[in-house]
A and B are shown apart, each in its own frame.
Chain A
Amino acid sequence: MNDQAIIEFQDFSFQYFSQAEPTLIDINLKIYPGEKILIVGPSGSGKSTLGRCLNGLIPFSYTGVINGSLKINGIETANLDIFSLSKLIGTVLQDSDGQFVGLTVGEDIAFALENDNVDHAEMNTRVTDVARMVDMQNWLSSSPYELSGGQKQRTSLAGVLIDDVPILLFDEPLANLDPATGKTAIEIIDDIHNNSQKTVIIIEHRLEDVLHRNIDRVIVIDEGRIIADMDADTLVSSKILKDTGIREPLYVTALKYAGINVTSKMHPGHITSLNLEGSQAVLRSWYKAISPDSQHNTNPSILMMQNISFSYDGVRHVLEDINIDIRKGEMVSIIGKNGAGKSTLSKLLCGFEKEDQGSIHFMGDDIKGLTIKERAEIIGLVMQNPNQMISKPMIFDEIALGLRLRHVPEDEIAPRVDKVLKICGLAPFKDWPISALSYGQKKRVTIASILVLDPKILILDEPTAGQDFQHYTEIMKFLVEINKGGVTVILITHDMHLMLEYTPRSIVLSGGRKIADTLASVVLTDSRVIEEANLKETSLFKLAQLAGIEDGTGFVQGFIDYEKGMRS
């Protein structure tokens, strides 16, 4: 390793002009050439701001006050513009869909070369070469709509690699990917790091997923300050993760539940490096002592789909012969990779599209004849992005909208909105403008605006996407409350933690067919389902193997039951 740092922050602080407090405070950090660094921190901790300082978006696009020094390659960044910086640091942004500038893969990869006035013939060769590095050479003329999330991300990566920059910066690379694609993304980043000796910086809050491959150092940021700078083993065995609200790896949680003192000597940073020497017996006896959760939902059926088939073009079936029976008061997850038919299923339930075959029953009655508006009073749909739903400036009006459109008298609207505001913990904000709310609060407003119609079933599309552990927990606890209040909840998700922790039952779709409908613990340990649905085996299963527990699925279920017991 070189003595000369490639990135060096010295007493660095930054405050956005639009904010009252500085976002980054007294940052001192050295990163050396060829290192692979992970920066973690909860939402709003300043980790993304740190990334923006590195790649020059601060101060180029976001202005504010900078104090102290930041040197890259020995040059003070204050003396560099965003274009010179882009030759030193290549940034892969969080949303690979949003940063797809070109109309095709080839064009997108070529974007930086076009701006550099590289001539046409050379551009073609270089694009083909780089596309080969990320295995996208057969997709050069494809448009973003034909690509999967992982392919879009690889395209973004190629667009950055084409410049042969010494530093690669990944801003939340896992945010929009399903578990299997996320795993592959981490492997691709690692391979590039190993083959090129580039310096790699990953900003992400999903610690366990990044630790799938080796990381030299993990930097923890909280409230604008660096509070830890250590290797993964030390970090995972410390209290720092718990204190900052970052989710620790699941196998570490299990070890702690079992009363095992996790130390850095056990190399707990990665499940592959974990050494359980001497602790296996403790883990086994903990597992035996867990009393299984025997509560079974025996309520009558609330929603039944029978032999549902659907196709947009009359040729390819998007859904084929789907049979699902959901009981009153259940909380289930529907999972599957992109294009498996999850969103289409929710569209059929809401009446946006009409099934070609089969029938949908609500409490035994066929709902074929109901309009979208009538169905909304039974089945509410909350979209993923709150900005796609919010259409009024004030919270009260936004929530009241559904009732006003139904010509409910104003004196009846007020108490109903108040009641929902209270359930959603929004009562103190009743007269606030929506623009003053955080993302999580906006999400609550959208849920409230659906709940006010008093639906019996609530469908949420990726309710926790992009949320850190703390906000994730808040949203999920809130949904559990609503569920306890009698609303049946259906969650469409990629999030394996969410399945494990909150939905006892998971329905898995693949290629328009239902391939599993069982306990989350079974789904996440069944290699066939895992592969077909782009999931990832949970690390708990690996832990069970390490401890010599034969029934891995039983161990995962035991963990779920134990955690449920802890929560209630």
Chain B
Amino acid sequence: MNSKMKLFSYNFVDSPIHRLSGLTKLICFMLLTSTVMYSYDIRIILVVMLFSLFILKISRIKFSQIRLMIIYVLVFLITNAVISFFFSPEQGVNIYKTRHVIGNLYGSLKLTWEQLFYQFTKFFKYASVVPLGIIFLLTTNPSEFASSLNGVKVNFKAAYAFALTLRYFPDIQRNYHDISQAQQARGLDLSHKAKPMDRFKYALLIIIPLIFSTLDRIEMISNAMDLRGFAKSNTRTWYTYRKLQPRDYAAIAVSLLIFFVAIGISVFINHSRFYNPFI
């Protein structure tokens, strides 16, 4: 069925990103997320963000695959921003040590340029991780990734368990979809018309059958693996094993460069994790 391209899971597409080894992608992902997590410099964050959007584009991921994910993340980030504003409206002032009031909001609650700038930075800091995570999950062949993990001495059972989880993720999504339709036919209302509490209760009506049919599946797969000698020795080889290619080293080098430049800017130019345009 062609609906498979819409799923939030690995699909093989021949793009430069898909061709990178899973290990390379893990290292780059860690380096780039560390960069944006460490730095509060909006310039660095925006550069990484633009860079990752560019990578997202060349990895040929379809928007329909990730739309739902993006919506969830945006809702989360906006809620987070609003709540953190009300909890500490003066955080920006504390950090940047200046205070430029834009206007009065309510009582003593004032909106400052510092706070706005701080929250703007934080919003993009989190938002820039999203494309990176999406690229990593959607372009990495789970088995090939497991073999790379095992290559860097991660226990192969743990690596394989991880790969299996990713491997069955689309199956579970499909199953969820089927169960949800059957339960809707029995009268389950998952639309916005239902009350939040009801929607939670209703979600359980889908999750319980999902768990039971998944457990059946797990028994079967573990039997199949036992019968073909999984974990009979303490090591294993991998059909999907790939040697790191020059392009892998190049990708790691680019990520390292971004990482060190970001740290360098913080240490030598900003003298802090924050970039302060107010002084």
B178 touches A99 (CB 8 A): no
A381 within 8 A of B: yes
Q: Given A93-B223, A98-B217, A127-B239: A380 and B228 within 8 A (CB)?
A: no
B237 within 8 A of A: yes
Of the candidates A93, A316, A347, A391, the one whose C-beta lies within 8 Å of that of B209 is A391
Residues of A within 8 A of B236 (CB): 114-115, 117
A507 to chain B: closest CB distance in Å?
21
Q: Which of B211-234 contact A (CB under 8 A)?
A: 212-213, 216-217, 220-233
Complex Cα–Cα for A160 and B224 (A): 11
Q: Given A103-B141, A373-B184: A83 and B220 within 8 A (CB)?
A: no
A388 to chain B: closest CB distance in Å?
5
Q: Which of B95-143 contact A (CB under 8 A)?
A: 141-143
A102 touches B239 (CB 8 A): yes
A106 to chain B: closest CB distance in Å?
6
B226 touches A380 (CB 8 A): no
B235 within 8 A of A: yes
B239 touches A106 (CB 8 A): yes
A390 touches B239 (CB 8 A): no
Complex Cα–Cα for A391 and B211 (A): 10
A117 touches B223 (CB 8 A): no
Residues of A within 8 A of B141 (CB): 103
Complex Cα–Cα for A114 and B224 (A): 14
B48 within 8 A of A: no
Q: Which of A432-465 contact B (CB under 8 A)?
A: 449-450, 453
Complex Cα–Cα for A383 and B183 (A): 11
Interface of B is mostly: helix
A373 touches B189 (CB 8 A): yes
B228 touches A391 (CB 8 A): no
Complex Cα–Cα for A124 and B239 (A): 7
A82 within 8 A of B: yes
B186 touches A453 (CB 8 A): yes
Q: Which of B181, B226, B239 has the most CB of A within 10 A?
A: B239
A184 within 8 A of B: no
B84 to chain A: closest CB distance in Å?
38
A61 within 8 A of B: yes
A390 touches B187 (CB 8 A): no
Of the candidates B1, B142, B216, the one whose C-beta lies within 8 Å of that of A387 is B216
Q: Which of B187, B188, B213, B220 has the most CB of A within 10 A?
A: B187
A317 to chain B: closest CB distance in Å?
11
B189 touches A115 (CB 8 A): no
B270 within 8 A of A: no
> B175's closest neighbor in chain A, by CB?
A388
Residues of B within 8 A of A124 (CB): 239
A510 within 8 A of B: no
B213 touches A375 (CB 8 A): no
Q: Which of A498-520 contact B (CB under 8 A)?
A: none
Interface residue tally for chain A (C-beta within 8 Å): 66
A113 within 8 A of B: yes
A101 touches B221 (CB 8 A): yes
Residues of B within 8 A of A350 (CB): 181, 185
A37 to chain B: closest CB distance in Å?
19
Q: Which of B233-254 contact A (CB under 8 A)?
A: 233, 235-241
A95 within 8 A of B: yes
Which of B27-35, B200-208, B257-265 touches A?
Answer: B200-208
CB 8 Å contact bits of A100-125 with B (1 = contact, 0 = none): 01110011001111111111100110
Of the candidates B179, B185, B223, B240, the one whose C-beta lies within 8 Å of that of A57 is B223
A352 touches B186 (CB 8 A): no
B2 within 8 A of A: yes
B185 touches A373 (CB 8 A): yes
A405 within 8 A of B: yes
B208 touches A391 (CB 8 A): yes
A401 within 8 A of B: yes
B209 touches A91 (CB 8 A): no
A389 touches B179 (CB 8 A): yes
- Chain B, interface residues (CB within 8 Å), range: 35 or more
> B228's closest neighbor in chain A, by CB?
A112
Complex Cα–Cα for A241 and B54 (A): 68
B73 within 8 A of A: no
A401 touches B186 (CB 8 A): yes
A107 touches B228 (CB 8 A): no
CB 8 Å contact bits of B134-159 with A (1 = contact, 0 = none): 00000001110000000000000000
Q: Given A103-B141, A352-B181: A113 and B237 within 8 A (CB)?
A: yes
Residues of B within 8 A of A277 (CB): none
> B233's closest neighbor in chain A, by CB?
A117
B205 touches A117 (CB 8 A): no
Residues of A within 8 A of B184 (CB): 352, 372-373
Q: Given A82-B226, A372-B185: A93 and B142 within 8 A (CB)?
A: no
CB 8 Å contact bits of A174-202 with B (1 = contact, 0 = none): 00000000000000000000000000000
A306 within 8 A of B: no
B4 within 8 A of A: yes
Complex Cα–Cα for A315 and B5 (A): 14
B167 within 8 A of A: yes
B182 within 8 A of A: yes
Of the candidates B175, B221, B225, B239, the one whose C-beta lies within 8 Å of that of A107 is B239
A390 to chain B: closest CB distance in Å?
6
B88 within 8 A of A: no
Q: Which of B1-45 contact A (CB under 8 A)?
A: 1-4, 12
Residues of A within 8 A of B220 (CB): 93, 95, 98-99
> B141's closest neighbor in chain A, by CB?
A103
A3 to chain B: closest CB distance in Å?
30
B206 touches A107 (CB 8 A): no
Of the candidates B178, B226, B235, the one whose C-beta lies within 8 Å of that of A61 is B226
Q: Given A313-B2, A388-B182, A391-B209: A118 and B237 within 8 A (CB)?
A: yes
Residues of A within 8 A of B232 (CB): 83, 115-116
Complex Cα–Cα for A83 and B170 (A): 30
B228 touches A381 (CB 8 A): no
Extra inter-chain contacts (12) besides given A83-B229, A116-B232, A383-B182, CB under 8 Å: A57-B227, A114-B237, A115-B231, A115-B233, A145-B1, A312-B2, A352-B185, A380-B185, A388-B209, A401-B187, A450-B186, A453-B187
Can you list 11 pairs linking A and B with CB atoms under 8 Å apart? A82-B226, A99-B224, A118-B237, A120-B237, A120-B241, A376-B186, A383-B182, A389-B183, A391-B208, A391-B209, A450-B186
Residues of A whose CB lies within 8 Å of any CB of B are: 55-57, 60-61, 82-83, 86, 91, 93, 95, 98-99, 101-103, 106-107, 110-120, 123-124, 127, 141, 143, 145, 159-160, 312-313, 315-316, 339, 347, 350, 352, 372-373, 375-376, 380-381, 383, 385, 387-392, 401-402, 405-406, 449-450, 453
- Interface pairs A-B: 6 shortest CB-CB: A405-B187, A99-B224, A98-B220, A110-B239, A376-B185, A83-B232
